[in-house]
Amino acid sequence: MAYKEIQLSITDRVARITIARPPLNVLTISTMKEMADAINRIGTMSDVCAIVFAAVPGARAF
């Protein structure tokens, strides 16, 4: 799935989900669906041991 409102990256066994809806990163239904999809996808990866949630640089809120 191509994400429009989040970014997903995996480095050194750590998945990072970045909310990319500046300026306030408001959680919409579509944002939550993308996050759920990413978390389910990460759940199938036995080599990932942590998930970090972050906001894009410059956003005023998480």
Question: What does the pLDDT read at residue 59?
Answer: 87
CA gap 21, 26 in Å, rounded: 7
Structural domain contains residue 32: yes
* Domain assignment present for 18: yes
pLDDT digits (tens, 9 = 90+) for 11-57: 999 999 999 999 999 999 999 999 999 999 999 999 999 999 999 99
One DSSP character per residue, 7-28 reads EEEEETTEEEEEE--TTTT---
What pLDDT score does 60 carry? 85
User: Which residues, 6 or more positions from 21, have their beta carbon under 8 angstroms from its beta carbon?
Assistant: 5, 28, 31, 59
**62 lies in some domain:** no
Q: Which residues constitute the domain of residue 31?
A: 6-55
Domain count, the chain: 1
Fill in the amino acid letter for 28.
Answer: T
